[in-house]
Structure 1
Amino acid sequence: MKINITKKLMLATMMMSIIMMTTSNNILFSWTSMEINMISFLYILTKSKKMTDQPMKYFIIQSLSSSMMLMSMLINSTKEAPPGFSVMLMTSMLMKMGMMPFHMWMPTIMQSMSWETCLILMSIQKIPPTIMTTQMIKMEMLMTPMMLTLLLSPMAAMKQLSTKKIMAYSSISNTSWMTYAAKTSKMQLVMFMTIYSMLTTMMIKMMKEMKIMYINQMMITNKWMKMNMLVNILSMSGMPPTIGFFPKWLILQNSTCQSITMSLSLISSSIMMTYVYLNMSNPMMTMMTTKKKKKKKKKKKKKKELSIMINMLGMPLTLILKLN
């Protein structure tokens, strides 16, 4: 994705709308900020060469959820009912985040996106609806959709062959982690979102460099690239002692004190996603290729070593957590 002046303006508008939404205490102003965010991202979608009818699908889904949100606001204002138990408001937020059972639009749209646009949808676009959900909806209403998302999204990812769809279902599963972290502690949300975005960026960068679109294309001969991909996969699945384990461990500590059922759902989802990631790396570890090895520059090797070092930062973080 080439970044011209207009796209820079749209990205800046997206970031400003997120800041406006997080700092506002008015639901109508938050709704307006989310609409500005949606229009800015829609421009980036329409400028992609591969996208045909996908921007219209995204616009229909987001406009429908925004209309439902506005309608729930009007109904709650007339009846003077608390919005925390509004089913319509919760449904609109689930559609915006792509959580189950309103998730089918996300894998189909991501299949036609570029990797950079997928990264924006999986990271930045998750922030406004997640914060709106945690501010407006009670935890009792969110428990069932969150557990449904945690258990069913890894099951749906098991039968996928496209790497973009696997990353989409991984993002759907991690949305429940973000929502629960935002409900318990804002600091945990910031930590989880930062580490998840960093790991997703490194994963997408490697897949773009090697032009991996399906699982059977993950036949990597370079040992450093293979080690880097495997460590990144283990870190995204939350395996200790990688850095992806640290925020999930903090969230699990709070969940065991509040709900045993929720903690079991989080653990089960993490185990199933680990199987999905390892299945994705299976061709890389077992299959062989007959292509000649190409000599690469030493600078790339340093970058790969740096990525492995970032993933292994979970070891000192876990020791600090243990000492505290």
Structure 2
Amino acid sequence: MLMNSTKLMFMMFLTLSTVMVYSSSSFIMSWLSMEINLISFLPIITKSKKMKDQSMKYFIIQSLSSSMMLLSIIMNFKIETPINFENLMMMSLMMKMGMIPFHLWILSFMEKLTWMKCLLMNTIQKLSPIVIISQMINFKTTILPMVLSLFMAPISMIKVNSIKKMMTYSSIYNSPWMISSIYISKNVFMLFFLIYSTMNFLFSKKMNEQNIMFFNQITEKTSSSKINLMINLISMSGMPPTMGFFPKWIILSKMNEISILISIMMLFSTIISSFIYLKILSSILLNQSTKKKFFKSMNFNETELVMNLMGTINFILFKPN
């Protein structure tokens, strides 16, 4: 994503609005900060005529969810309400994040974005709703949406052929982990978010450099490229002893003190997602293209290997208290 002065300005507003949500102490300020975030993000994603339709779709969905959020805030000021405002607030924030069952819009939307803009959707754009969930909603209200996303997202990933859709389902699957981590501790949340963002950045950068959109394109790549992809996906799925498992291990150990049932569900969903990732990777690694490879063989990139070896070192040095 090329950064001219206009995009740089909107990126600054995007970051500033996220910080405003994190530091605000009132409902109205949080809502206003999310509106600034929406207005800042729209010019970033609007580039071609094809994206103008998608940006309008994004604007309508976000506006609808913001209206629901504002309605829930107004309901909260009333003494007696027939509907619990937390349920309406949770629905609006789920719609903003694209969590199941409000996820259909984000699948088609992410398909049209570039890889770097997909990275923004999977990382920075999730911060504000997650912070508001932790500030305004009771943990018990979030259990059902979290369980739905934990189990439905990996299962929906089985028949997917597009890598961007796979990344979207992976983002939906990791959203309950982010929500759980911020209820445990802000430090745990920042650790998980930092590692998750780093893994997403490495993966998106690689896909962007090699211009890969679908899994069948990977079969034409060299063995070193396939191994790099395998290391990235295994780490993002949270398999031990990779770097991606290290924050999830901390979240699971802390979640036992809050709810053993939720931690068991998280563990089972991790097993399901790891199995599906391995199934995808096995088909990629075993399939070989019959085309003659005229392109230059790429050197093995050691970034992913070093990052995941750091995960093994973290197991040795750190223990969750």
User: TM-score category by the smaller chain?
Assistant: over 0.9
Which whole-Å deviations, capped at 9, do the CAs of 1:25-77 have from their partners, x for residues lacking one?
Answer: 11111111110001111111212564141111111110001001111111111
Runs (5+) with no aligned partner, structure 2: none
Q: Tell whether 2:195 aligns with 1:198.
A: no
Q: 1:236 aligns to what?
A: 236
Classify 1:242/1:282 alpha carbon distance in 2 versus 1 (closer, same or farther; 3 Å): same
The number of aligned residues is 319
Q: Tell whether 2:212 aligns with 1:212.
A: yes
Give the whole-Å Cα distance in 1 for the aligned partners of 2:320 and 2:59.
49
1:310 CA drift (Å)? 1.2
TM-score by length of 2: 0.94
Q: 1:321 aligns to what?
A: 318
Contact map agreement 1:191 1:247 (CA 8 A) in 2: yes
Give the whole-Å Cα distance in 2 for the aligned partners of 1:292 and 1:90.
51
Q: 2:293 aligns to what?
A: 292
1:323 CA drift (Å)? 9.6
Contact map agreement 1:221 1:293 (CA 8 A) in 2: no
| RMSD of aligned alpha carbons | 2.0
Q: 1:88 aligns to what?
A: 88
Contact map agreement 1:85 1:138 (CA 8 A) in 2: no
Give the whole-Å Cα distance in 1 for the aligned partners of 2:215 and 2:316.
35
Give the whole-Å Cα distance in 2 for the aligned partners of 1:271 and 1:87.
30
**SS of the residue aligned with 1:240?**
coil
Q: 1:141 aligns to what?
A: 141
Give the whole-Å Cα distance in 2 for the aligned partners of 1:19 and 1:52.
28
What letter corresponds to residue 44 of structure 2 in structure 1? I
Classify 1:139/1:322 alpha carbon distance in 2 versus 1 (closer, same or farther; 3 Å): closer
- State how 1:159-308 maps to structure 2 within 5 Å: 159-219=159-219, 221-289=221-289, 290-292=291-293, 294-295=295-296, 301=300, 304-308=301-305
Give the whole-Å Cα distance in 1 for the aligned partners of 2:210 and 2:292.
14
Q: Tell whether 2:64 aligns with 1:64.
A: yes
Which whole-Å deviations, capped at 9, do the CAs of 1:172-198 have from their partners, x for residues lacking one?
Answer: 010000001011111110000000000
Contact map agreement 2:237 2:277 (CA 8 A) in 1: yes
**SS of the residue aligned with 1:228?**
helix
Q: 2:76 aligns to what?
A: 76
Q: Tell whether 2:304 aligns with 1:310.
A: no
Which whole-Å deviations, capped at 9, do the CAs of 1:243-280 have from their partners, x for residues lacking one?
Answer: 00100000000122221221122112212221232233
Divergent runs of 4+, >3 A: 293-297
1:2 CA drift (Å)? 2.0
Classify 1:139/1:219 alpha carbon distance in 2 versus 1 (closer, same or farther; 3 Å): same
What letter corresponds to residue 88 of structure 2 in structure 1? M
Q: Tell whether 2:23 aligns with 1:26.
A: no
What letter corresponds to residue 16 of structure 2 in structure 1? M
What letter corresponds to residue 291 of structure 1 in structure 2? K
- State how 1:115-134 maps to structure 2 within 5 Å: 115-134=115-134
Give the whole-Å Cα distance in 2 for the aligned partners of 1:262 and 1:162.
30
Give the whole-Å Cα distance in 2 for the aligned partners of 1:56 and 1:77.
32
**SS of the residue aligned with 2:177?**
helix
Which whole-Å deviations, capped at 9, do the CAs of 1:151-209 have from their partners, x for residues lacking one?
Answer: 11111111211111110010001000000101111111000000000001111111122
Give the whole-Å Cα distance in 2 for the aligned partners of 1:220 and 1:236.
23
1:80 CA drift (Å)? 6.8
Report the identity percentage: 41
Classify 1:251/1:45 alpha carbon distance in 2 versus 1 (closer, same or farther; 3 Å): same
Contact map agreement 1:72 1:89 (CA 8 A) in 2: yes
Contact map agreement 2:215 2:284 (CA 8 A) in 1: no
